[in-house]
Every structure is written in structure tokens, then in C-alpha cells.
Structure 1
């Protein structure tokens, strides 16, 4: 499992739409060969058809698709948006932090979500991630939270 390694973190990324934000998180997963391009498209299509169900906390989105849509390995990527984007969630918009989720099985999906939940359980961690200005800042926040990469 790849849990937020430096090569899967992008900070101050400019986007103009939720779809661009989802693709940015998917690009990082695809670059590290944890998903196929079909998985990235399935992430976007899930948003289009099902709405912002994956905007799980104020300012935080976790786009994903089903394992059979092209997940090759379990991983989480991270994109901090330069400017917040409205996804259409009634209480958690706008979104600044995007965690792209790839899980090769349903069991791994639950495990990686639990790990991410532990990281984001502390509201101060979310605020620190919103304020970070580079990849090293994000890595330090993850390490201070007790999460291993």
C-alpha cells in the first residue's frame, strides 16, 4: 500500500472544476502505476452520476472508483488545491484537500479508508494541510500525526 508518499503529493495545484481536481488526484495515482487510466475516468464519472458523496468533511474530498474499474494497487494521493472548489455538497463545500483513493479490493478499501480517517480525525491536521506550502510541509504533518508513509 502506498499511503501519501512524496511523489504522490501535489501542493498549491490550480484547478477550475471538481472534475479537474479529481483528475489531478488520479494523475498522481496513475503516474505511480496504482491505477489504470480507466480508473481515473471512473472516478470522474462517479462524481458526475452520484454527486459529491465523497466530500467527507468540511473542505475534504476522497474521490475513488470501484476496484474493478482499474485499481492496480492500494494507494492514496493528495492534492491541495490553490483555490477551493465547490463540489455541490450541502455542508462540506468548498473543497481544498483532495485524497485520491485506489483500492485493489473491498477489504483494502476499508483498511486504507480507516488509515486516512485516523490521519484526518484531528481538525488541526486538516487545517495544517490546508496551510502547507510545499510537499515537505505535508510530509512533516503526516509524520507528526503518527501515520507512516
Structure 2
């Protein structure tokens, strides 16, 4: 499977801003919820874990991959991508985040291929720069489709 194949319909979005990191999580997880990949408790588990453990899912400057344990409400394995035109701050110790890659994994292995493809994409700084500079869902999807 290609990286883009892990993104269900309408799971790539560009938003102006999020009023808080909690709203950024909501934006990131909304497509997965609507497509039946997660349930409501999964989103709450991410928020609770962030409050207890900090934003453990920040992968690189400006990039985060919010997720929770499979048993917290993951129903299917998939990804979403949300680009915030105005970044959101998760806590004082971290840089603002503009790109959120929502992850739903039903077990500890089903998402490995997606994570590997995503890692290859994100290890190139020019790819991160392209994602952060995108202005439309179409541009984001094209970048993901090349991965």
C-alpha cells in the first residue's frame, strides 16, 4: 500500500487556525471519526494522555502525530492530515505545530507500513517544508501521493 492509501476520503484539510491544542486535536481526528476509523473516546484518550504526559507525539519542529492506544477506540487503521495556517502551541517547552497527522491503529503492527512511508517522507526536510507551505488539500494530497 502507498502512503496516500492510508488516508480515507476527505481526511486531508487546511484550516486557518485552532483556538487551542485541544481544538487542533479535534480537527485532526474529525475525518477519522466521520469515516468510522475511531470513536469519540479515542479523541478524549489523546487529550487525556496529552494532559498527563505532554505532547509525546510531536515528531519534528512543526509536525505532530496525535494518537492513542488501539484499545482506546481505534476501529480501523488510517491517517488524517491537517495543516493549520496559524500554528498552535501544545506547551511552553515545544515549538508551535502546524501539521497534524492523525493516526488510528487497531493493533501494534497494522500501521507499521504507513509509519515507515511517513518516516521516509518526513526525513527529507524539503518534504516537510513543502507540506508546511501547501495552501490546499490538493497540494497536500499530491505530496503524500509521491511518497
The alpha-carbon deviation at position 16 of structure 1 amounts to: 1.3
Query: 1:38-57 alignment to 2 at 5 Å?
Result: 38-57=41-60
Deviation per CA, 1:90-114: give whole Å up to 9, x if none: 3x51100000110000112444322
The alpha-carbon deviation at position 83 of structure 1 amounts to: 0.4
SS of aligned partner of 2:109: helix
- What is the alpha-carbon distance in structure 2 between the residues aligned to residue 125 and residue 5 of structure 1? 21
Aligned residues: 144
Length-normalised TM-score, structure 1: 0.88
With over 3 angstroms needed to count, the CA separation of the structure-2 counterparts of 1:132 and 1:66, relative to structure 1, is same
Tell me if structure 2 keeps the 8 A contact 1:34–1:102: yes
Q: What stretches of structure 2 of length at least 5 have no aligned partner? A: none
- What is the alpha-carbon distance in structure 2 between the residues aligned to residue 43 and residue 111 of structure 1? 22
Query: 1:1-149 alignment to 2 at 5 Å?
Result: 3-5=6-8, 7-88=10-91, 90=93, 92-144=94-146, 147=147
Q: What stretches of structure 1 of length at least 5 have no aligned partner? A: none
Tell me if structure 1 keeps the 8 A contact 2:99–2:132: yes
SS of aligned partner of 1:106: coil
With over 3 angstroms needed to count, the CA separation of the structure-2 counterparts of 1:95 and 1:47, relative to structure 1, is same
- What is the alpha-carbon distance in structure 1 between the residues aligned to residue 42 and residue 105 of structure 2? 11
Please, what is the CA RMSD of the aligned residues? Answer: 1.7
Length-normalised TM-score, structure 2: 0.90
- What is the alpha-carbon distance in structure 2 between the residues aligned to residue 4 and residue 126 of structure 1? 18
